Amino acid sequence: MDAATQAWLDQQDADLAATIRRRGWSIQYIGGDTCSAPGCNCPESDGPPFAYTVGLFGLRHPELLIFGVPPEIALGVLNALGRGIKAGNDHIP
């Protein structure tokens, strides 16, 4: 792996960890035109876009997943649920 890509990955990891420490979770969105890695040549996805949480396990809750919606909706739903979980709500059936 070249130095520029490794530096980018290291920064992404640091940003993710900082977000989880600050908020309690982070959200990753996959699909559409979301690749920002240096020299990314990602093929077009043949599936629906999706988003998932990272860090809710630290709040003693399973991670959450939503798919088939635009980023704004996915982020809104997952952040609302994350805030509820952080406040003590349990979304496990």
Question: For each of the chain's 93 residues, which pLDDT tens digit applies?
Answer: 899 999 999 999 999 999 999 999 999 999 866 555 566 666 666 689 999 999 999 999 999 999 999 999 999 999 999 999 999 988 777
pLDDT of res. 93? 72
Q: What one-character-per-residue DSSP string does 43-76 give?
A: PPPSS--EEEEESGGGGTS---EEESS-HHHHHH
pLDDT of res. 91? 76
Backbone φ and ψ for 9, nearest 5 degrees, come out as -60, -40
Contact 75, 51 (CB under 8 A): yes
Sole residue written with tokens 């420490």: 21
What's at 54, amino acid-wise? Answer: V
pLDDT of res. 73? 97
pLDDT of res. 36? 56
